[in-house]
């Protein structure tokens, strides 16, 4: 019974530990790899869908409709405006939030009507568009993308190219963070659809210019900022696709749990081994005792006509009394 408890208890505990541990441990190990589409591209697709939802069944051409974003994207703003491509080329669209589209802007390939989707990533800018080391955002990241307006229920639409054929599209940023005087000037950054950043000089104070679609912001060398911010992440490390920003701390928690779990498991394993060794010893002793008992009964010798147990090294052999008399 004692031996049973000794063997079974650690095993049961080990089992319980494995079951308890499997959820966070497995979660840590089987974490889905970042989806093949980069997070920023996935966001483009989500925002296209939500922007189109804002366009009611018969949206008025040239009227801006604000979209609503899912709860886990609070802080991101999205809007949509439907325009005739011909009208856009002839008249431009002068005030689309911070974007001013001059005459001569065309979409390629040509469509009859286009939807211009506006993004303001707000406090999600750094998350979706990590900056090069040493740089910080002075403005949120703004996006301007064009889609075909033929089907306003469509999802997963491909972007159309925006081409400024006469003068560039201007992006006038408001509420730009200040830099300390005397350093190198702030710069514009443009991200293409693949998220590849390109630095450009400002067109005017807080104004960037572009000839294409994409995402835009004003950045500065971090060392120029008055309160030195934490160095921003490099562009290289992949951002988790499901996008909870608290991933790091939960990862740490999982690691802590697995370390403690492993320690306990090792302890239990050691206990189990000790128990087994002791169990073996006890078993061996029992067998030896039994053998020493059985051993004597086994050594039988023919005494007269009967089998009788004999001790091996006795000096006098047992003799039946009657043989004396015979």
Q: Which residues bind ligand NAG (CB under 6 A)?
A: 66, 70, 72-75, 77, 123-124, 127, 134-135, 151, 153-155, 183, 221, 223, 242-245
Assign 220 to helix, strand or coil.
strand
Q: Which two tokens stand for residue 171?
A: 């992006």
Q: How far is the CB of 152 from ligand NAG (least distance, A)?
A: 8
Q: How far is the CB of 124 from ligand NAG (least distance, A)?
A: 5
Query: Residue 135 in contact with residue 221, Cβ under 8 Å?
Result: yes
Give the separation between CA 312 and CA 296, rounded to whole angstroms: 8
Closer residue to ligand NAG (CB): 19 or 56: 56
Give the separation between CA 18 and CA 228, rounded to whole angstroms: 46
CA distances from 219 to 31, 67, 222 (A): 33, 27, 9
Query: Residue 108 in contact with residue 142, Cβ under 8 Å?
Result: no
Closer residue to ligand NAG (CB): 89 or 215: 215
Q: Where does residue 141 rank: exposed (0-12), middle (13-18), buried (19+ CB within 10 A)? A: buried
Closer residue to ligand NAG (CB): 245 or 248: 245
Q: Which two tokens stand for residue 315?
A: 């000096």
List all residues 6 or more positions away from 267 whose beta carbon is below 8 Å from its beta carbon.
Answer: none
Query: Residue 149 in contact with residue 82, Cβ under 8 Å?
Result: yes
Closer residue to ligand NAG (CB): 223 or 271: 223
Q: How far is the CB of 204 from ligand NAG (least distance, A)?
A: 22
Closer residue to ligand NAG (CB): 231 or 318: 231
List all residues 6 or more positions away from 286 whose beta carbon is below 8 Å from its beta carbon.
Answer: none
Q: State the DSSP code for 238.
A: P
Closer residue to ligand NAG (CB): 73 or 138: 73
Owner of token pair 């079951």: 19
Q: How far is the CB of 140 from ligand NAG (least distance, A)?
A: 11
Closest by CA to 92, choosing from 111, 106, 82, is 106
Closer residue to ligand NAG (CB): 106 or 145: 145
Q: How far is the CB of 74 from ligand NAG (least distance, A)?
A: 4
Closer residue to ligand NAG (CB): 30 or 244: 244
Q: How many other CB atoms are there within 10 angstroms of residue 255's CB atom?
A: 13
């Amino acid at each position: 019974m004692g031996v049973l408890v000794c063997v079974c208890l650690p095993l049961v505990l080990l089992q319980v530990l494995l079951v308890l541990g499997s959820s966070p441990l497995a979660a840590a190990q089987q974490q889905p790899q970042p989806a093949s589409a980069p997070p920023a591209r996935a966001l483009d697709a989500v925002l296209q869908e939500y922007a189109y939802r804002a366009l009611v069944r018969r949206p008025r051409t040239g009227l801006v409709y604000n979209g609503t974003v899912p709860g886990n994207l609070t802080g991101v703003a999205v809007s949509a405006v439907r325009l005739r491509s011909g009208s856009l080329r002839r008249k431009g669209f002068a005030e689309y939030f911070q974007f001013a589209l001059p005459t001569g802007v065309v979409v390629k390939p040509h469509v009859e009507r286009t939807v211009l989707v506006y993004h303001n990533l707000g406090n999600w800018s750094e998350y979706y568009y990590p900056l090069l080391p040493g740089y910080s955002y002075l403005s949120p990241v703004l996006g301007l993308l064009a889609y075909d307006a033929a089907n306003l229920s469509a999802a997963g639409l491909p972007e159309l190219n925006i081409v400024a054929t006469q003068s560039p599209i201007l992006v006038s940023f408001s509420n730009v963070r200040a830099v300390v005087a005397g350093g190198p000037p702030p710069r514009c950054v443009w991200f293409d659809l693949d998220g590849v950043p390109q630095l450009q000089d400002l067109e005017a104070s807080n104004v960037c210019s572009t000839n294409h679609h994409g995402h835009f912001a004003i950045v500065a060398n971090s060392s120029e900022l008055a309160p030195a911010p934490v160095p921003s992440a490099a562009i290289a490390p992949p951002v988790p696709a499901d996008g909870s920003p608290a991933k790091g701390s939960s990862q740490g928690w999982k690691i802590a749990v697995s370390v403690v779990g492993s320690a306990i498991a090792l302890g239990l394993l050691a206990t189990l081994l000790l128990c087994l060794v002791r169990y073996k010893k006890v078993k061996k002793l029992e067998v030896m005792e039994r053998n020493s008992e059985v051993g004597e009964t086994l050594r039988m010798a023919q005494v007269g006509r009967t089998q009788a147990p004999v001790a091996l090294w006795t000096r006098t052999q047992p003799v039946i009394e009657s043989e004396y008399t015979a």
